[in-house]
């Protein structure tokens, strides 16, 4: 009996890793695409729209809160215990019934204190509130 030359091939004893690498790369790509989606909670939220420069073009009442705890209503300094009454009087003036109240709190003021200030403004009768922020300036490379 003669053997044919084509049948002399040795059996494959090594694992072909190319399909394993292909599957691993596909899984890595799927992970990279879906990871940003997993970092947000799956709760229905209606996010507010940002309107920059709106407050600059209209009449507003400014509340300034310094890092030392000093308060000012527009350009007039107000003691903390008289703040709510002064703001209520300011909002009762003619033309101020639907005015935007802008809170300018120092970045060193704790968030809780700023929130309490916003609550006091709401209690005093403010219908529209905004928190002033510094716009980020991006330098082009």
More confident residue, 89 or 136: 89
Q: Where are the domains of the chain?
A: 13-38, 55-131
| Residue ranges of E strands in 1-126 | 60-65, 71-73, 76-78, 100-105
* Range with top average pLDDT, 31-40, 79-88, 93-102, 126-135: 79-88
Contact 87, 121 (CB under 8 A): yes
Percent of the chain with pLDDT over 90: 9
pLDDT in tens, 41-67: 444 545 444 455 554 556 788 888 888
**The CATH number of domain 55-131 is 3.40.190.100:** no
What number of other Cβ atoms are within 10 A of residue 131's Cβ? 13
Average pLDDT value over all residues in the chain: 77
pTM above 0.85, yes or no: no
Q: For 87-106, what is the mean pLDDT? A: 85
How many helices (DSSP H) and strands (DSSP E) are in the chain? Answer: 3, 5
d(CA 120, CA 110): 16
């Amino acid at each position: 009996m003669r053997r044919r030359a084509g049948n002399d091939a040795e059996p494959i004893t090594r694992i072909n890793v190319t399909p394993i690498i292909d599957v691993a790369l596909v899984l890595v790509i799927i992970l990279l695409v879906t990871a940003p989606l997993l970092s947000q909670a799956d709760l229905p939220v209606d996010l507010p729209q940002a309107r920059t420069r709106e407050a600059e073009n209209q009449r507003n009442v400014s509340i300034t809160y310094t890092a030392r705890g000093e308060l000012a209503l527009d350009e007039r300094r107000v003691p903390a215990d008289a703040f709510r009454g002064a703001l209520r009087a300011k909002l009762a003036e003619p033309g101020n019934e639907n005015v935007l109240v802008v809170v300018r709190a120092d970045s060193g003021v704790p968030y809780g204190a700023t929130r309490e200030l916003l609550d006091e403004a709401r209690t005093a009768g403010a219908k529209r509130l905004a928190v002033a922020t510094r716009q980020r300036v991006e330098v082009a490379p």
